[in-house]
Amino acid sequence: MSATAAEGFSRRAAALLRSAANDLKRDDENAERELGLEPGTFADHTSGKRPLDWALLRRAAEVWPLNERDLLPVHDDCPAGLSVLRAKESLGSSRVLARGGEGYYEYRDTAMSRIASYRPEWIRMLRVVEDNRADNPRVQWNHGHLLYQFTYFVGPVNYYYRWGDTSYCVPMETGDSVWGLPFAPHSFTARSDSEPAYILALTYGGALVGDAQRELAVLGRRPAHDLALPVAGSPSSQPGLIRSFMAARCLTPAELADRTGLAADRLTELCGPGDTDGRGGTDDTDGRGGPGDTATESELALLAEALGVSVRDLLAPRSTSHRGVSIQHGRDARSWDHPGKDGPAYRFTQLAGDPLHPHTTALQVDVRAAAASDDARLVTHQHQYLYVLGDAPVEVSWEHDGRRRTDVLEPGDSAYIEPLVPLTFSTAGDTLPRLLLLRIAGAVTPDVRYALGSMAHGGIDRYIAEDRLWYSKEGN
């Protein structure tokens, strides 16, 4: 860690300690007594004058109802807003993993950051098959994995996926892509050993990794199953949500009928027979039994008012995945010019995705212009990953901390870019560059963004770096 990075880490740790002490209503004297610190030293820890030490972390997690990780900041490994992993470094991480005693895949790391949940790998298929059968015994399946996987295909690659007891094989070619759900087994092979056959396997955890996984690991298996909600399209998805809020609010069907003015029979149709167990569970996700009627817009408004929630809290997201995957072949992918048809800077092609992840965007970018205009600046709330496909280098310009920076990325180079960093691409030679862009959400979900937007004046600055006791010792 560089001196600047270490300093930033200490500063963020100091702010977290003050923030946690404030949450627990501990002033400096009480904190010092409970943490076994010398009188007058707590302020040195919360100002960053004294670095975070493990003994203090352990002590705090022992005597206060918090976890060590609550006091641990994340590392900033992208101080310039964009960090590059060169093709040469990627090659340096090459390792062949065997399945059944024979090399099956060659893996190479591409750009990752500690700030985002990406784990993107370049993977070459070493197994060559002669057919497109899903039951080919030469195909080695995995057990599936936690991370969502967006895959971009290059060359004659066979994609295998399994949902339930059935296995499928889809022959893919360059430009095809797929988005897949966690823990579904899959595999890849090559149909030819005479041309390149590889994938960009861009896995990411999104909201599944981090706090939610740790909380459910403590709550246990049964609660984790009971908390699972069906997506839209299942007859139990909306009733499950309504029943969940009824249980949370301790509302009876009679009280809900009274509040909404809806007839008891109609409420039964909308929410089920009133087993308000709070789970909103998935018992009937296969469509057996349960209520099936969807509330109209005006009924939803009445229910939201009665439950003290927003209408969106009563709406389940939809998914277009089928058997666990959303496949997008390049031949029928939608493409468009950006920012307009006249002298466009880019031509974008929409790659695989799913409405279940509205904050994931996968794009193929064909860069058209030698000098990008201001209209060509691309800004997003998402974290961004890019990989240079094809044979042409690309010039990347971005703005961070009031500075404009430029770099040339060669084929096989990849980069991570922080949210809201304005980015432009332009050609760096005679050949037009092609990029793969995958944008994903981080921990700053819409709920967090709404919370930021509704804080009291000055709140956002203190939220990211608490710098004071929550009241003044001297009084007003």
In whole angstroms, the minimum distance from the beta carbon of 121 to Fe ion comes to: 9
Which long-range contacts does 407-412 make (Cβ < 8 Å, 24+ apart)?
407/82, 407/84, 409/84, 410/86, 410/87, 411/87, 412/86, 412/87, 412/90, 412/91, 412/122, 412/387, 412/388
Whether the link from the prior residue into 339 is cis, omega within 30° of 0, is yes
Give the Å distances, CA to CA, from 133 to 76, 130, 194, 203, 420.
46, 9, 21, 26, 44
Binding pattern to Fe ion, positions 99-138, x when CB under 5 A? ----------------------------------------
In whole angstroms, the minimum distance from the beta carbon of 147 to Fe ion comes to: 7
Pinpoint the alpha helices (H) of 118-190: none
Task: Indicate the residue among 149 and 276 with the shorter CB distance to Fe ion.
Answer: 149
Task: Indicate the residue among 142 and 397 with the shorter CB distance to Fe ion.
Answer: 142
In whole angstroms, the minimum distance from the beta carbon of 168 to Fe ion comes to: 15
Residue of minimal Cβ distance to Fe ion: 149
Neighbours of 1 (CB within 10 A): 11
Mark the segment that binds Fe ion (CB under 5 A) among 16-24, 141-149, 166-174, 375-383: 141-149
Task: Indicate the residue among 117 and 149 with the shorter CB distance to Fe ion.
Answer: 149
Name the one residue in this structure whose structure tokens are 């003044």.
Answer: 472
The type of residue at 106 is E
In whole angstroms, the minimum distance from the beta carbon of 228 to Fe ion comes to: 22
What contacts 111, CB < 8 A, 6 or more positions away? 83, 84, 85, 118, 120, 385, 386, 387, 414, 415, 416
Binding pattern to Fe ion, positions 145-164, x when CB under 5 A? ----x---------------
Q: Enter the tokens of residue 440.
A: 């994903």
> For residues 128 and 327, what is the distance between their CA atoms, to the nearest angstrom?
22
Instruction: Give the count of residues interacting with Fe ion (CB under 5 A).
Output: 1
Mark the segment that binds Fe ion (CB under 5 A) among 128-136, 142-150, 284-292, 414-422: 142-150
In whole angstroms, the minimum distance from the beta carbon of 119 to Fe ion comes to: 10
Task: Indicate the residue among 149 and 158 with the shorter CB distance to Fe ion.
Answer: 149
> For residues 393 and 425, what is the distance between their CA atoms, to the nearest angstrom?
10
Task: Indicate the residue among 81 and 205 with the shorter CB distance to Fe ion.
Answer: 205
> For residues 305 and 299, what is the distance between their CA atoms, to the nearest angstrom?
10
In whole angstroms, the minimum distance from the beta carbon of 437 to Fe ion comes to: 20
At 6, which helix (H) or strand (E)? helix 3-23
Task: Indicate the residue among 105 and 348 with the shorter CB distance to Fe ion.
Answer: 105
Task: Indicate the residue among 19 and 149 with the shorter CB distance to Fe ion.
Answer: 149
Secondary structure string (H, E, C) spanning 47-111: HCCCCCCHHHHHHHHHHCCCCHHHHCCCCCCCCCCEEEECHHHHHHCCEEEEECCEEEEEEEECC
In whole angstroms, the minimum distance from the beta carbon of 186 to Fe ion comes to: 6
Q: Which of residues 378-437 bind Fe ion (CB under 5 A)?
A: none
Taken in order 234, 239, 243, 246, is the CA torsion positive or negative? positive
Task: Indicate the residue among 141 and 463 with the shorter CB distance to Fe ion.
Answer: 141
> End-to-end alpha-carbon separation of the chain, Å?
42
Please give the sequence-ordered ranges of beta strands (E in DSSP) within 217-302, or none if there are none.
none
In whole angstroms, the minimum distance from the beta carbon of 438 to Fe ion comes to: 14
In whole angstroms, the minimum distance from the beta carbon of 231 to Fe ion comes to: 22
Task: Indicate the residue among 149 and 424 with the shorter CB distance to Fe ion.
Answer: 149
Task: Indicate the residue among 149 and 382 with the shorter CB distance to Fe ion.
Answer: 149
In whole angstroms, the minimum distance from the beta carbon of 181 to Fe ion comes to: 11
> For residues 15 and 71, what is the distance between their CA atoms, to the nearest angstrom?
9
Residues at the contact surface with Fe ion, assessed by CB under 5 A: 149
